[in-house]
């Protein structure tokens, strides 16, 4: 299923007509240098317009909502799992729905930044060996993206289940989620 809808095709047809008109106008130019410059400019502008218009049409025609998001930690496996439902609340089909989950250790969110929040182990031997290119720092933000639905028709919903490794040094976590329809 294509992620384009009727509006995408209409906008691209209008841009293509503008491109043809620009090419015809450039070909009528008598000065060779000016003609090539006009061809390049028309091509560049129409390509930018086409790419930009696809994002704009996506933003205004593809609407998806997240319902019943729950998470649970699997301590024995050091994983966290998320379950929920995504629903297409728009009038057009959606090719792909992406869920972005961002976990932040609470020290950064609340402004309570102490020395323990920025832990970077070091030792006497690290000075001489250079850690062999291994980064031992512990990031305080974790961002994961998952495709949770494909080919979602208008009014339909899809249940999902995703999981990933949970850093064992995270103590109190703030979570942020964002849905994107493509």
Determine the Cα–Cα distance for residues 182 and 177; give it in Å rounded to an integer: 17
pLDDT above 90 as % of the chain: 54
Q: Is the pLDDT of residue 95 over 60?
A: yes
64-181 folds as: Immunoglobulin-like (2.60.40)
Q: Specify the DSSP element, H or E, that contains 165.
A: strand 157-165
Query: What are the residue ranges spanned by the domains of the chain?
Result: 6-61, 64-181
Residues contacting residue 182 through CB under 8 Å, at least 6 positions apart:
3, 58, 62, 94, 95, 96, 97, 98
The predicted model gives 126-131 an average pLDDT of: 58
171 alpha carbon, distance to own chain's centre: 27
The predicted model gives 96-104 an average pLDDT of: 93
């Amino acid at each position: 299923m294509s992620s384009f809808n009727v509006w995408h095709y209409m906008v691209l047809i209008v841009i293509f007509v503008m491109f043809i008109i620009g090419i015809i106008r450039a070909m009528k130019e008598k000065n060779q240098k000016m003609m090539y410059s006009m061809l390049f400019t028309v091509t560049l502008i129409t390509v930018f317009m086409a790419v930009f218009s696809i994002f704009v049409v996506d933003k205004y025609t593809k609407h998806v909502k997240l319902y019943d998001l729950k998470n649970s930690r699997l301590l024995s496996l050091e994983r966290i799992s998320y379950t929920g439902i995504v629903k297409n609340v728009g009038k057009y089909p959606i090719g792909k729905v992406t869920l972005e989950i961002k976990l932040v250790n609470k020290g950064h969110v609340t402004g309570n930044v102490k020395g323990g929040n920025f832990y970077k182990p070091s030792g006497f031997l690290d000075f001489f060996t250079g850690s062999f290119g291994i980064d031992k720092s512990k990031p305080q933000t974790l961002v994961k993206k998952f495709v949770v639905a494909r080919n979602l028709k208008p009014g339909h919903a899809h249940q999902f289940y995703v999981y990933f490794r949970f850093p064992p040094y995270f103590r109190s976590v703030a979570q942020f989620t964002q849905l994107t329809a493509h």
